Amino acid sequence: MAKDPGRILIFDTTLRDGEQSPGASLNLEEKLAIAQQLARLGVDIIEAGFPYASQGDFAAVQRIADHVGSGDGPVICGLARASKADIRACAEAVSPASQKRIHTFIATSDIHLEHKLRKTRSQVLSVVPEMVSYARSFVDDVEFSCEDAGRSDPEFLYEVIEAAIAAGASTINIPDTVGYTTPSEFGLLIKGINANVTNIEDAVLSVHGHNDLGLAVANFLEAAKNGARQFECTINGIGERAGNAALEELVMALHVRRRYFNPFFSRNIESPTPLTAIRTEEITKTSRLVSNLTGMVVQPNKAIVGANAFAHESGIHQDGVLKNRLTYEIVDARTVGLSDNRISLGKLSGRSAVRARLEELGYDLAREDLNEAFARFKDLADRKRDITDRDLEAIVSEQVQQPDARFQLLLVQVSCGSSLRPTATVSLADQDGQEKTISAVGTGPVDAVCRALNELAGEPNELIEFSVKSVTEGIDAMGEVTIRLRRNGKLFSGHSADTDVVVAAAQAFVNALNRLVAAEEKLVIHPQLDLVETDESLSL
């Protein structure tokens, strides 16, 4: 991708670093659905995964490259450690895309060199140009990252970056891997790189940061003022530990404070040209999709996309907003796609009307998927008077969780009350179509359902989170349920929505079980924790 110092490139890593959030693993169909929405959002680069991690990750990156990276779509990127095997797998996975990138990395901080890599500075300095050159032999667009750059010796960092650019890297990424730096420190680090790396003009300077101290967004904005021109971020700020810099916060900060940031991009202070290519009206929908599919619930007070982001409780605030919204709102909710739109669809509405509304919402479903979505819509319309856009989004987002399911929920029936012991009867079908039914007693209807499902599935686990919220207002609102299970220290999330929260809980539990089983059946490599074990493996 050509260097464009006049704006910020948005590099979305929701499908790679975001998916590393505990319990947030996604199947192929879910990754594809998110990638398609990221393309509609207007991100410049999608880091679709870590192809060497597993066959599933390789297939997902390759399918995204084929379906989303064609034509004028975003750059499709894959992550690779500084290893020829990783880089070859990455090159093959991203090959179907019109614009493709290999993103390779190695640690540069002394603490990582000593305790993780067990390499000297000179060894790392010799690996970098070799691996960047190897990646460059497959693609024209190579990004190189200095892992833990925030705690690296700047003088050594300059040497590594210069070697990477000389070997063909067109993007240099500076990660604050552990979220350690403060804005002033991070800004000075970027400023120092621009001043001391002799060939820095041949590359785009990128930043990646974690939010361990809650400073990731502030760090990025300070980096932009000092010459960074690519932000690596995630939807809703999801990611390992405390997460990554949040895309929606960064984009809207640049949007709302454009007059402040324009001079740092050599623009007139009044320039109306956006500082990113993001279609801001797609932000809310993208946030909801990622939340639904990952099971990572957005906190109500989350900036830009939280349920309370545009709510006013104080009487003084309410009075001010009624007189002029600018008194207490710096962002128009419609700018990020938030509205109370209701659709005039009901149980008598036809398939074409439902399809047209889904297309307006950005969902392009194949015929078979549309048939299933329409059937679920009709079922919901029989039970719910007013159907909203959120209801349709809940239907479609849940639908993509179904492929490759080991278990399928067939029946949920509960009996409970003030003088009854909560009892649930559930039926499951396995991959071979065999049906099993069992009843169980619990402390409540949901507990009884979960006990019955566990007994039928025979997959040991610990339920560590059960949350329920309404999709919309009203007594007939759909309830969204998120369930998180733990086994062997790993978390697995399931999500579902239904007008009956017990049914939604049952389906969410089954979705989490399916993820648990799928994860147990494959070996997944973590890009930062699983190292290339020997120097010899670098020449594989």
Domain segments of the chain: what residues?
A: 9-294, 408-520
pLDDT average, residue stretch 434-450: 95
**Residue 536 reports pLDDT greater than 60:** no
Per-residue pLDDT reduced to its tens digit, 106-123: 999 999 999 999 999 999
CATH superfamily membership of 408-520:
Alpha-isopropylmalate synthase LeuA, regulatory domain (3.30.160.270)
Specify the DSSP element, H or E, that contains 267.
Answer: none
**DSSP code of residue 294:** H
**Residue 539 reports pLDDT greater than 60:** no
Q: What is the pLDDT of residue 66?
A: 97
| Inter-helix orientation angle 351-360/389-399, to 10° | 90
Cα 179 to Cα 263: distance, rounded to the nearest angstrom: 28
pLDDT-derived band at 218 (thresholds 50, 70, 90) equals: very high
Per-residue pLDDT reduced to its tens digit, 49-84: 999 999 989 999 999 999 999 988 999 999 999 999
**Residue 34 reports pLDDT greater than 80:** yes
Reference 107, options 158, 75, 151, 138; nearest CA is 151
Report how far apart, in Å, the C-alpha atoms of 467 and of each of 30, 296, 476 are.
21, 11, 18
State CA 287 to chain mean position distance.
9
pLDDT average, residue stretch 231-246: 96
Cα 419 to Cα 21: distance, rounded to the nearest angstrom: 42
Domain 9-294 fold? TIM Barrel (3.20.20)
**Residue 94 reports pLDDT greater than 70:** yes
pTM of the predicted model, to two decimals?
Answer: 0.86
Please check whether the two domains, 9-294 and 408-520, share a CATH topology: no
